[in-house]
Amino acid sequence: MQSHNIAACIFGGDYKDPLALDTRKMNTYFQLHFGQSASKADLSLTEKYRYHPKFKTGGTFGMNNLQMADKMLTYNYSSIYASNQQRYQLHKLFILEHYLKQFNEETIVPKNFQHCGEPCAVACKKLNGKYKKDFEPYHALGPQLGIFDQRAAELLNDHADAMGFDAIQLGGSIAWIMEIVDAGMIEPRNFGFPPTDDLRFGFTADPAQHHMVDDSMRNAQYAMAVINAILHDPKAAIFRQGIRAAAKHLDEQSSLRPSDRAVFLRHGEHGHMVPNQYWVPGMFSPMPIMGKYYVYYGDEFLAPEQLGKRNVERMVYELFSDNTGICRFHRKWSESITDEILQDHYGLDLDYKAHLYTLARAINRHESAKSRPWCSERNADLLLKFLEYWEQAGLEDPQLQYWLQYARTDKAGAARNYWQVVFDAQQQAFAAGQEQIPDCLTPKQVHEQEQLAKDSCNMGLLAVAE
């Protein structure tokens, strides 16, 4: 709105695509490559987003809240300073036994699922009445704000959505505001915010210190008051420019450096983005487009050189979905057979992976110079604590030890250099050519390659015998 004066774009109509694939044709591809019908293969490859019978939950909200355990980020990322045991305790008492339990009882058990409007069996939309439950918004405007109750989270998410905010961006901004208010780094009344006593902020895994229902609602009401102040109170005008501009402004007014509690990625002179809600270095990587999962976000430790390379690989394959109009929830099959469908059904005779690599490289060439290193202490701590997490897990890796020693000696310097190594590795991967991007193979293609390798080996043995 501030940049282009556009509130929304709405598309509709009843156009029927004459080239749309029918079910019988789709079955041909799936039977050939996966040994199942399209519907069966799709359901088995998208269990996370529909329903996982082993875990008795589903959707991004259900599966992520179940599996994140001690890697869950709460209270404006300050959970990284707690022990693994404390984070496990919070996950058990606040998430599994309340926040997720409510979701499962209200949405999963009665099967309150819907699809997006396409004839898709996954039915990834998880509902409770008018409220749609997804992990990212219900986390950024949930546990990151000290909210662990569905009623409070519903109220806040609905208000944020009605006011036209992006939930992740807003959640990261309000979580930061609530922390610096609670820490006494700003005077809330100077910005039209409620007094500090009106919120209950700061990491705890003890239900006696944080009432699951009452304190969650207290924090939701506080967050809504912050939203209203940002929108309507001239005293909060600086926050309308976003977390980056607000952090810079507050640093100029105070020696306490409120910006060191903020978490965001910088792009260009003014651009910024609150990252997706995963405690992994990939989500903080300097890719040319952020917020689109164009990164590797596995939670294992990778050396930054490896991470940069994997980020580029993921950008290329995410474009298989984005540039073809396929929902990324289907990526476990779409990334391996989309090129064949395009050639066979639509007559597009091209190497689709090479085409998308060229597109990704062009985007990188246009945007990469705008990437900026991490600038806050909290960003540096997210890296340090991630490294320490894997040290405590017993991982023995020379690269892990190198970066740990560096970060413990010079945390800010290590963060800058880690960022730079990832960035440089990305540029090298973009320059190396599409041949360096590994193929994504179906079970049929894997079998064919294994058979080819076996036949080649047998031929070699015969030649030696002769």
Q: What is the pLDDT of residues 398-429, one digit of tens each?
A: 999 999 999 999 999 999 999 999 999 999 99
Alpha-carbon distance values, 236 to 178, 242, 252, 459 (Å): 14, 11, 16, 75
Torsion region of 111: left, alpha or beta (phi above 0 gives left; psi -120 to 50 gives alpha): left
Whether residue 137 is contained in a domain is answered as no
Is the pLDDT confidence value at 444 over 70?
yes
Lowest mean pLDDT among 223-227, 358-362, 411-415, 444-448: 444-448
| 52 DSSP 8-state letter | B
| 272 DSSP 8-state letter | E
Alpha-carbon distance values, 396 to 298, 301, 372, 390 (Å): 18, 11, 31, 9
Is the pLDDT confidence value at 461 over 70?
no
Whether residue 327 is contained in a domain is answered as yes
Whether residue 410 is contained in a domain is answered as yes
Whether residue 287 is contained in a domain is answered as yes
Cα 376–chain centre separation:
20
Percent of the chain surpassing pLDDT 70: 98
Range of the domain at 398: 280-440
Can you read off the two tokens belonging to residue 16?
């029927």
454 contact partners, CB below 8 Å, separation of at least 6: none
Range 90-96, long-range pairs (CB < 8 A, 24+ positions): 90/203, 90/204, 90/205, 93/205, 93/207, 94/143, 94/148, 94/205, 94/207, 94/210, 94/212, 95/65, 95/143, 95/148, 96/66
Rounded Cα distance between 148 and 151, Å, is 9
User: How many separate domains does the chain show?
Assistant: 1
Work out the pLDDT band at 459, boundaries 50, 70, 90: low
Work out the pLDDT band at 371, boundaries 50, 70, 90: very high
439 contact partners, CB below 8 Å, separation of at least 6: 353, 445
Work out the pLDDT band at 4, boundaries 50, 70, 90: confident
Rounded to an integer, the average pLDDT of 154-178 is: 98
Is the pLDDT confidence value at 460 over 90?
no
For residue 274, the model assigns a pLDDT of 98
Percent of the chain surpassing pLDDT 90: 86
For residue 462, the model assigns a pLDDT of 61
Whether residue 392 is contained in a domain is answered as yes
Whether residue 297 is contained in a domain is answered as yes
- Are residues 279 and 382 in contact, defined by beta-carbon separation less than 8 angstroms? yes
For residue 18, the model assigns a pLDDT of 81
Is the pLDDT confidence value at 2 over 80?
no
Can you read off the two tokens belonging to residue 389?
């997490």
For residue 345, the model assigns a pLDDT of 84
Rounded to an integer, the average pLDDT of 298-302 is: 97
Helix (H) or strand (E) run with residue 288 in it:
none
Whether residue 161 is contained in a domain is answered as no
Is the pLDDT confidence value at 96 over 70?
yes
For residue 463, the model assigns a pLDDT of 64
Is the pLDDT confidence value at 466 over 70?
no
Q: Which amino acid would we find at residue 252?
A: E
Work out the pLDDT band at 456, boundaries 50, 70, 90: confident
For residue 180, the model assigns a pLDDT of 99
- Beta-ladder partners of 79: none
The SS3 of residue 395 is: coil
Whether residue 3 is contained in a domain is answered as no
Q: How far apart are the first and last CA of the chain?
A: 76
Is the pLDDT confidence value at 110 over 80?
yes
